[in-house]
């Protein structure tokens, strides 16, 4: 497998998953989202938007981090990091797996654009305030969902690769967890995992 990767992007999820599973992979590393090589015709043939992550495997390409995670688990996961479909934890696993992109990342994306990409004179204070308020409510849902568990489903699963990564990114981009001790402890627990430590900037 070849992973097309840039630091501090959703590609971290794919390296993290492979490291957790002990899978071999080849890394094609870009310097960041501003790397001009991502806009060259050769790479646009790999990912039409010139983004990461993308996975190359057996002559095929697949992009979208959630789809890649599901693909790797189905092909190479050996029934690890995901409860069986007949498990009473499966619905909870699916919920948090998709919560990452369905709920958590949209307001984070807004905050990144408004506070990091746009110049100050073009950013919209109303959009920023609205995104921060929504992000607070979403992180509060994770606080409740974790309860007394170490991870979202109990044991560590790919739902934590997806939603845990998104939670960390949220806290780095305006998500306030000062009143959410369970989420704060969860983030620290994730940071302590060697596989995640390696995935932030491999190569």
For residues 64 and 139, membership in a common domain is answered with no
- Average pLDDT, rounded, for the chain: 96
Q: Is 102 helix (H, G, I), strand (E, B) or coil?
A: helix
Let me know if residue 60 belongs to a domain.
yes
The number of distinct structural domains making up the chain is: 2
For residues 65 and 99, membership in a common domain is answered with no
Range of the domain at 186: 90-198
If we measure between CA atoms, which residue out of 17, 40, 20 comes closest to residue 30? 40
For residues 171 and 117, membership in a common domain is answered with yes
Structural tokens at position 13: 């999820």
194: domain CATH number is 1.20.1050.10
DSSP assignment, residue 36?
A: G
Let me know if residue 38 belongs to a domain.
yes
For residues 95 and 185, membership in a common domain is answered with yes
Q: What is the pLDDT of residues 77-128, one digit of tens each?
A: 999 999 999 999 999 999 999 999 999 999 999 999 999 999 999 999 999 9
Structural tokens at position 51: 């983004």
pTM: 0.96
């Amino acid at each position: 497998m070849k992973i097309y990767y840039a630091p501090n992007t959703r590609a971290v999820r794919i390296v993290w998953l492979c490291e957790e599973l002990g899978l071999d992979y080849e890394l094609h590393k870009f310097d960041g989202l501003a790397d001009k090589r991502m806009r060259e015709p050769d790479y646009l043939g790999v990912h039409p938007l010139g983004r990461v992550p993308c996975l190359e495997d057996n002559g095929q390409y697949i992009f979208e981090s959630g789809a890649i995670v599901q693909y790797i688990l189905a092909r190479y996961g050996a029934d690890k990091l995901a409860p069986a479909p007949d498990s009473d934890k499966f619905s909870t696993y699916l919920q948090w797996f998709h919560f990452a992109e369905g709920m958590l990342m949209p307001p984070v994306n807004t905050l990144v654009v408004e506070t990091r990409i746009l110049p100050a004179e073009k950013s919209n204070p109303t959009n920023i305030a609205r995104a921060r308020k929504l992000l607070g409510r979403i992180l509060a849902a994770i606080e409740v969902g974790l309860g007394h568990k170490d991870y979202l489903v109990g044991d560590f699963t790919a739902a934590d690769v997806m939603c845990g990564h998104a939670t960390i990114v949220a806290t780095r981009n305006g998500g306030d967890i000062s009143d959410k001790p369970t989420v704060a402890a969860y983030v620290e627990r994730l940071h302590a995992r060697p596989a995640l430590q390696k995935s932030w900037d491999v190569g």
